[in-house]
Structure 1
């Protein structure tokens, strides 16, 4: 059965609307209450620091990684405006990673966002990602984090996407030890800067395993480390995303939306949300059942896939991004609720 398709009905309390009420985002600052999964792994509810914008009742704002629609900021903002959204997740602008933008270019970016009334719920860094194996120089990631700390403060953003370092020929135990040590160091620096690192189920040691992701949270044990869940990554990485999410949902504070199918020859082909095999609708139901109130950020991979070198620009990329956003809105209206079950504990 294709996981992206759902029968009729509605996701409980989830309707798209144009309200901009404060106090409905994911609270990543109140993570010290007593819970069964460790002193710093409480569930996260809304607070008034979450970006506003067109919302889904029960979730935070709809947003998207802008460079999937256009290289330049103007094109990125035009695409989210076509969808009626007022938030954009930043990864790169004009082909340059956010942390590498010259100061003058970043200052112009912040002015444009402020003038347009567009908020930034998260930034997607390169820390620990597919291009930075665990044997690489940690100083590179620390330097990027230092720059992003200043830039996130200017953007009014706290969430920084990270991954957990692909292996580079090390034994499994050494790989694990290095990852845990590196992310502990990064998290300590993030916490002192007022940031929250959100680990994505993508490239790296803890990318495709609930046990490893929970071990990572337990080992670091900090309110400055949480999880980002990408609905589509299970297809290329060979797991069923809803199965992973059931164990991780209580610790997820940011979500990327994509969908895909795997062809008989093993190729991953990305689709509109709800038209693939990733189980996007089921993931949304699981998140809703666990009280998720964070943003849903579109990352369709239809025109832009940095890790594959696919960088289509122009009107076609923007149109594909908008079509994917429209498909997500339709999917939210037709998905059905699912009962919650206890998530995994670190």
Structure 2
């Protein structure tokens, strides 16, 4: 059965204590750690809060489902790749310490002038290297459909370099929708490599997209859930309300319970098990 988790990116004004309380109150099965007390997580900040995280988010009751890092895997310079590899391994070690099953990385071309073909190879090679530590620690590592790698096809090509039992995809429904990919297309590319899903709704506007409450936008969330159900996906689905990046959108006290209410109506219609 799928489990809906609350992504801390959506509540920059909450402490971890408030996050734990509200996640339970709203009916979420766990959390995805992107912020600690409103600030983007770092290796140092998570290390400094290990005891607090363990106490607030018990593995058997309200677990941290993902460490949602800012690590970007694609870079041209060998010395930066080594630094990135060391940071990635540090995140994997922290995940093992906290019993968090998934570490999320970005692929993103960095620097941006690096061409996509080169980026795909570099990301694949980095995933293969990180997979060694991840296998030792029994952790899965995921690369997200995001930035220049919003296409499920690009992510799938990078994942081909890395072992399928360790490295997988984090599917963000909004980003694949923005570039015109349907849920069915995403499942065709990533279905057998999915380890986590990000969910949010957004409406097309004259100058881009606006994040909205669930059911008010153009992201085919219900169709996406049906597609996940069709392949037997039973992992975590993160409600990623991007309040940290878009302070003008609804407050988390409104958005998180609203998303859960609508998701429950979808479940009642049999979109997922």
Q: After TM superposition, is the score higher than 0.5?
A: yes
Q: Measure how far apart 1:271 and its partner are.
A: 1.6
Moved more, 242-251 or 284-293: 242-251
Distance 1:334 1:160, change over 3 A: same
Residue 287 of structure 1 corresponds to 228
| 1:65-104 map, 5 Å | 65-69=7-11, 70-94=13-37, 95-101=39-45, 103-104=47-48
Distance 1:121 1:281, change over 3 A: same
Q: Measure how far apart 1:127 and its partner are.
A: 1.9
Q: What's the secondary structure of 2:32's corresponding residue?
A: coil
| 1:57-68 map, 5 Å | 59-68=1-10
Indicate if the aligned counterparts of 1:162 and 1:198 stay in contact, CA closer than 8 A.
yes
Indicate if the aligned counterparts of 1:284 and 1:335 stay in contact, CA closer than 8 A.
no
Q: Measure how far apart 1:299 and its partner are.
A: 0.7
Rounded to whole Å, the distance in 2 between the matches of 1:93 and 1:312 is 21
Indicate if the aligned counterparts of 1:272 and 1:300 stay in contact, CA closer than 8 A.
no
Q: What's the secondary structure of 2:151's corresponding residue?
A: coil
Q: Measure how far apart 1:288 and its partner are.
A: 0.5
Q: Which has the higher contact order (CA 8 A, sep 6+)?
A: 1
Indicate if the aligned counterparts of 1:67 and 1:76 stay in contact, CA closer than 8 A.
no
CA offsets per residue over residues 14-72 of structure 1, 9 Å max, x none?
Answer: xxxxxxxxxxxxxxxxxxxxxxxxxxxxxxxxxxxxxxxxxxxxx23221212312442
Rounded to whole Å, the distance in 2 between the matches of 1:208 and 1:178 is 17
Indicate if the aligned counterparts of 1:201 and 1:230 stay in contact, CA closer than 8 A.
yes
Instruction: Note if 1:232 corresponds to 2:174.
Output: yes
Instruction: Note if 1:332 corresponds to 2:272.
Output: no
Indicate if the aligned counterparts of 1:249 and 1:286 stay in contact, CA closer than 8 A.
no
Q: Measure how far apart 1:297 and its partner are.
A: 1.5
CA offsets per residue over residues 120-172 of structure 1, 9 Å max, x none?
Answer: 222211122xxx76246224432332332332223222211112122521244
Q: Measure how far apart 1:282 and its partner are.
A: 0.6
Q: Measure how far apart 1:225 and its partner are.
A: 0.4
Please state which structure has a larger fraction of its residues in strand: 2
Instruction: Note if 1:218 corresponds to 2:218.
Output: no
Please state which structure has a larger fraction of its residues in helix: 2
Question: Structure 1 stretches of 5 or more lacking a match?
Answer: 1-58, 338-346
Instruction: Note if 1:251 corresponds to 2:186.
Output: no
Q: 1:145 aligns with which of 78, 83, 88?
A: 88
Residue 196 of structure 1 corresponds to 140
Q: TM-score of the superposition, structure 2-length normalised?
A: 0.85
Q: Measure how far apart 1:98 and its partner are.
A: 4.7
Distance 1:75 1:333, change over 3 A: same
Q: What's the secondary structure of 2:70's corresponding residue?
A: coil
Distance 1:288 1:86, change over 3 A: closer
Q: What's the secondary structure of 2:134's corresponding residue?
A: helix
Rounded to whole Å, the distance in 2 between the matches of 1:172 and 1:115 is 38
Indicate if the aligned counterparts of 1:273 and 1:331 stay in contact, CA closer than 8 A.
no
Q: Measure how far apart 1:311 and its partner are.
A: 4.8
Indicate if the aligned counterparts of 1:245 and 1:283 stay in contact, CA closer than 8 A.
no
Distance 1:244 1:81, change over 3 A: same
Residue 31 of structure 1 corresponds to none
Rounded to whole Å, the distance in 1 between the matches of 2:116 and 2:9 is 34
CA root-mean-square deviation: 2.7
Q: Measure how far apart 1:335 and its partner are.
A: 5.9
